[in-house]
């Protein structure tokens, strides 16, 4: 294994190829264009296919068709484009197809801006489109982790026959960091349900339409069992210094890096501070939050590049036992470690330096 | 004593032995059969993947005896693109109505055609939204009354019916673009031939093929099945001329 210096977006593309993905459909949008550009260059070199769709709506439906044919497939976009894809993601979840969708989140609502944000948390973790469904959501905080999570995303999509979202932001996509690509064979699985032509078997039908209400209810219950299984088997979370922590920061992706720097400064000031970093946003690491000790933890501070989205989950799973505070910047503004430090000190009633 | 029996007419293998939900007198059954016959004749059933639309033929996957996917409204050509690019050995066709293809799915059909996707699109044009209860379609004729054009389609208000075959034939990539009709046995035979040509060209890897079939909707048009066929022949064929708008040079009648 060799370490190479790579831009996040290109590392994401190469990780997909290493995971056996040979088909990419997408539509340009800032700040993630380096992913389709990389795929358009690399896929023909490895016998793959890159198609620039006429829109995000078309692209996600190309994913439906391709995944329905039993082929590993990916798209990438950014917030406004992901909104357009929600129709297709709902159909894909309904039809139980494995696809990987990268969202390099930018500021919203509407056209918003092109700077990094985390304001698509609600959309990502609550299904996003119509209907009673969830997508798995993976949130890398480094380029190395983005590589590993993109590779895992394909295996998880196949494991659950469900869309898997990788939620990054412009910082993850644009920054260059040294990465190592794990040497591992893609865990390809049989897909006997795929539409490959019915030679030697009964025809396969890939669809999300179930007109009988009892049948549709049964289908939804089956989907829910899948989401429960995700919660049992595939929650990922990193915790730092929770033992003895009086203050616990909770942050994912880019803001978790800001929090790490803030933690160093807080320790210098004698504050016992820990961190919960959800890696899977759905399934959310609810047990980690539930296991925090109200006798020791004075409060949890959730830090986000939004005006408060993940904080609702943190509140939900603390069940009122521990005060939960929020600090966030939004619209493409990244919170600084100093801001986080000041917020913690202020909440502790300590003197805040100007 | 056994009586010698010769089978002179039977269900194509590519159709299932199953009653359809279509209204009495609806030509979807004819169109399904013609597609199935083309798949049978060319030996393509076991390689075929159909894509069903949203509309009356949303349940087409219950009637065809081959692999199928069911698309969101208008997105069938995008699904077909994904299937064909993922599995180039399959024979991929969409089966779409006028609301699905010429309204909400306009971007998908034009760009699939423009990319020259090696698929076959079967476009059923009956100038109305049947499934939702007879609303105006992008192909509804001028003056035609529907539940959302109760005074008749007014081109000043809502524009003119879209001629899809002509529109797509302006693109460079499509290899075969034709409009046929299902109003008389003679026309049905021509439509059968057109579908056969389209699927054969796809199997030969030639490119994008498009077969528009003028159809009728007795329920939505408020006519008996026979009246509807006559109205179609008189009115629909007057505005939507039949013909082969694009054909490879090597084909009989193909333009140089």
Mean pLDDT of chain A: 97
In tens, the pLDDT along A43-89 reads 999 999 999 999 999 999 999 999 999 999 999 999 999 999 999 99
Instruction: Say if B214 falls within a structural domain.
Output: yes
Say which of B52, B72, B86 has its CB closest to residue A91. B72
Instruction: Say if B60 falls within a structural domain.
Output: yes
Q: What is the CATH number of domain A3-233?
A: 3.40.50.970
Contact (CB<8Å) B82/A62: yes
pLDDT at A199 over 50: yes
The pLDDT score that the predictor gives to residue A132 is 97
What stretches of A181-272 adopt beta strand conformation (E)?
205-206, 237-240, 247-250
- Give how many domains chain B has, as a whole number: 1
Instruction: Say if B137 falls within a structural domain.
Output: yes
pLDDT at A1 over 80: no
Instruction: Say if B204 falls within a structural domain.
Output: yes
CATH architecture observed for domain A239-347: 3-Layer(aba) Sandwich (3.40)
Which residue has tokens 């209204």? B23
**Which chain B residues are Cβ-neighbours of A73 within 8 angstroms?**
82, 86
The pLDDT score that the predictor gives to residue A182 is 94
The pLDDT score that the predictor gives to residue A354 is 59
Q: How many CB pairs under 8 A join A and B?
A: 142
Q: Is B33 exposed, middle or buried (0-12, 13-18, 19+ CB in 10 A)?
A: middle
* SS3 (DSSP) at B153: strand
- What are the residue ranges spanned by the domains of chain A? 3-233, 239-347
Q: Does B115 touch chain A (CB under 8 A)?
A: yes
Mean per-residue pLDDT, A94-120: 97
Instruction: Say if B11 falls within a structural domain.
Output: no
Name residue A59's beta-bridge partners: none
In tens, the pLDDT along A111-131 reads 999 999 999 999 999 999 999
The residue among B71, B55, B66, B68 whose CA lies nearest residue B22 is: B55
Q: Does B146 touch chain A (CB under 8 A)?
A: no
The pLDDT score that the predictor gives to residue A187 is 86
Task: Give the count of beta carbons closer than 10 Å to the beta carbon of residue A252.
Answer: 29
The pLDDT score that the predictor gives to residue B256 is 47
Antiparallel, parallel or unpaired: β A237-240 and A247-250: unpaired
Contact (CB<8Å) B82/A58: no
**CATH number of the domain where residue B97 is located:** 3.40.50.970
Calpha distance B93→B81 (Å, rounded): 10
pLDDT at A166 over 80: yes
CA-to-CA separations, B216 to A85, A100, B22, B241, in angstroms, rounded: 34, 42, 12, 15
Name residue B179's beta-bridge partners: B212, B243
| DSSP percent split of chain B into helix, strand, coil, nearest 5 | 40, 20, 45
Instruction: Say if B117 falls within a structural domain.
Output: yes
The pLDDT score that the predictor gives to residue B4 is 85
The residue among A295, A286, A289, A290 whose CA lies nearest residue A275 is: A289
Element (H, E) at B86: helix B76-86
What number is the ipTM of this complex? 0.96
Name residue A76's beta-bridge partners: A102
Q: What is the 3-state secondary structure (H, E, C) of A106-132?
A: ECCCCCCCCCECCCCHHHHHCCCCCCC
* SS3 (DSSP) at B3: coil
Calpha distance A303→A339 (Å, rounded): 10
DSSP, residue by residue, A275-311: EEEESEEES--HHHHHTS-TTT--EEEEEESSSSSHH
Mean per-residue pLDDT, A214-221: 98
The pLDDT score that the predictor gives to residue B1 is 63
Q: Based on C-alpha coordinates, what's the Rg of chain B? A: 18
Calpha distance B182→B1 (Å, rounded): 43
Mean per-residue pLDDT, A84-102: 98
Q: Does B66 touch chain A (CB under 8 A)?
A: yes
Say which of B68, B83, B85 has its CB closest to residue A205. B68
Give the Cα-Cα-Cα angle A65, A67, A71 (nearest 5 degrees): 120
Report the share of chain B in percent with pLDDT over 90.
Answer: 95
pLDDT at A184 over 50: yes
Query: Which residues of A fall below an 8 Å CB-CB distance to B?
Result: 23, 25, 49, 51, 53-55, 57-59, 61-71, 73, 87-88, 91, 95, 195-200, 203-209
The pLDDT score that the predictor gives to residue A113 is 96
Note down the domain range covering B46. 28-246
pLDDT digit of tens for each residue in chain B (256 aa)? Answer: 678 899 999 999 999 999 999 999 999 999 999 999 999 999 999 999 999 999 999 999 999 999 999 999 999 999 999 999 999 999 999 999 999 999 999 999 999 999 999 999 999 999 999 999 999 999 999 999 999 999 999 999 999 999 999 999 999 999 999 999 999 999 999 999 999 999 999 999 999 999 999 999 999 999 999 999 999 999 999 999 999 999 998 887 765 4
Instruction: Say if B252 falls within a structural domain.
Output: no
In tens, the pLDDT along B50-65 reads 999 999 999 999 999 9
Is the fold of A3-233 the same as that of A239-347? yes
Contact (CB<8Å) A25/B82: yes
Contact (CB<8Å) A69/B90: yes
**Which chain B residues are Cβ-neighbours of A94 within 8 angstroms?**
none
Q: Does B68 touch chain A (CB under 8 A)?
A: yes
Q: Is A53 exposed, middle or buried (0-12, 13-18, 19+ CB in 10 A)?
A: buried
Instruction: Say if B205 falls within a structural domain.
Output: yes
Calpha distance B21→B31 (Å, rounded): 14
């Amino acid at each position: 294994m060799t370490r190479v210096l790579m831009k996040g977006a290109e590392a994401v593309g190469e990780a997909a190829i290493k995971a056996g993905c040979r088909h990419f459909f997408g539509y340009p949008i800032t700040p993630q264009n380096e992913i389709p550009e990389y795929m358009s260059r690399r896929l023909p070199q490895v016998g793959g296919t890159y198609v620039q769709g006429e829109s995000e709506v078309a692209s996600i439906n190309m994913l439906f068709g391709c995944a329905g044919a039993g082929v590993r497939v990916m798209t990438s976009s950014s917030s406004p484009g992901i909104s357009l894809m929600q129709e297709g993601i709902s159909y894909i979840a309904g039809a139980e197809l494995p696809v990987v969708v990268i969202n390099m989140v930018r500021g919203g609502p509407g056209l918003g801006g092109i700077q990094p944000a985390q304001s698509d948390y609600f959309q990502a973790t609550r299904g996003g489109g119509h209907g009673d469904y969830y997508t798995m959501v993976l949130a890398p905080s480094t380029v190395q982790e983005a590589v590993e999570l993109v590779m895992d995303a394909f295996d998880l999509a196949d494991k659950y026959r469900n869309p898997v979202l990788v939620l990054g932001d412009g910082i993850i996509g644009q920054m260059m960091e040294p990465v190592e690509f794990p040497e591992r064979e893609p865990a390809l699985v049989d897909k006997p349900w795929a539409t490959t032509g019915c030679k030697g078997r009964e025809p396969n039908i890939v669809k999300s339409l179930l007109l009988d209400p009892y049948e549709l209810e049964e289908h939804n219950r089956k989907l829910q069992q899948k989401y429960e299984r995700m919660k049992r088997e595939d929650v990922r979370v990193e915790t730092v210094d929770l033992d003895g922590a009086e203050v616990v920061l909770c942050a994912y992706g880019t803001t978790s890096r800001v929090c790490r720097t803030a933690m160093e400064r807080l320790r210098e000031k004698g504050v016992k501070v820990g961190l919960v970093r959800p890696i899977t946003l759905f399934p959310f690491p609810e047990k980690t939050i539930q296991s925090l000790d109200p006798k020791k933890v004075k409060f949890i501070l959730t830090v986000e590049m939004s005006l408060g989205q993940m904080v609702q989950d943190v509140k939900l799973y603390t069940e009122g036992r521990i005060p939960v505070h929020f600090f966030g910047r939004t619209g493409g503004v990244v919170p600084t470690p100093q801001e986080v430090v000041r917020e913690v000190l202020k909440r502790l009633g300590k003197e805040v330096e100007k | 004593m056994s009586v010698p029996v010769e089978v002179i007419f039977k269900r194509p293998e590519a159709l299932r032995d199953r009653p359809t939900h279509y209204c009495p007198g609806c030509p979807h059954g004819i169109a399904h059969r013609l597609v199935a016959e083309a798949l049978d004749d060319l030996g393509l059933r076991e390689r075929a993947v159909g894509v069903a639309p949203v509309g009356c033929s949303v349940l087409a996957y219950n009637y065809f005896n081959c692999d199928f996917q069911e698309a969101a409204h208008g997105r069938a050509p995008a699904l077909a693109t994904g299937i064909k690019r993922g599995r180039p050995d399959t024979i991929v066709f969409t089966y779409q109505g006028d609301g699905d293809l010429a309204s909400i799915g306009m971007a998908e059909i034009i760009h699939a055609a423009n990319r020259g996707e090696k698929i076959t699109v079967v476009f059923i044009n009956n100038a109305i939204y049947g499934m939702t209860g007879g609303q105006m379609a992008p192909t509804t004729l001028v003056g035609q009354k529907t539940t959302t054009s109760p005074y008749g389609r007014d081109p000043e208000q809502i524009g003119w019916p879209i001629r899809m075959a002509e529109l797509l034939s302006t693109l460079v990539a499509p290899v075969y673009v034709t409009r046929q009709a299902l109003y008389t046995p003679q026309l049905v035979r021509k439509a059968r031939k057109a579908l056969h040509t389209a699927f054969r060209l796809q199997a030969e890897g030639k490119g994008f093929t498009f077969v528009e079939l003028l159809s009728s909707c007795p329920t939505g048009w408020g006519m008996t099945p026979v009246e509807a066929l006559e109205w179609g022949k008189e009115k629909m064929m007057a505005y939507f001329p039949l013909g082969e708008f694009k054909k490879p040079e090597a084909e009989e009648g193909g333009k140089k």
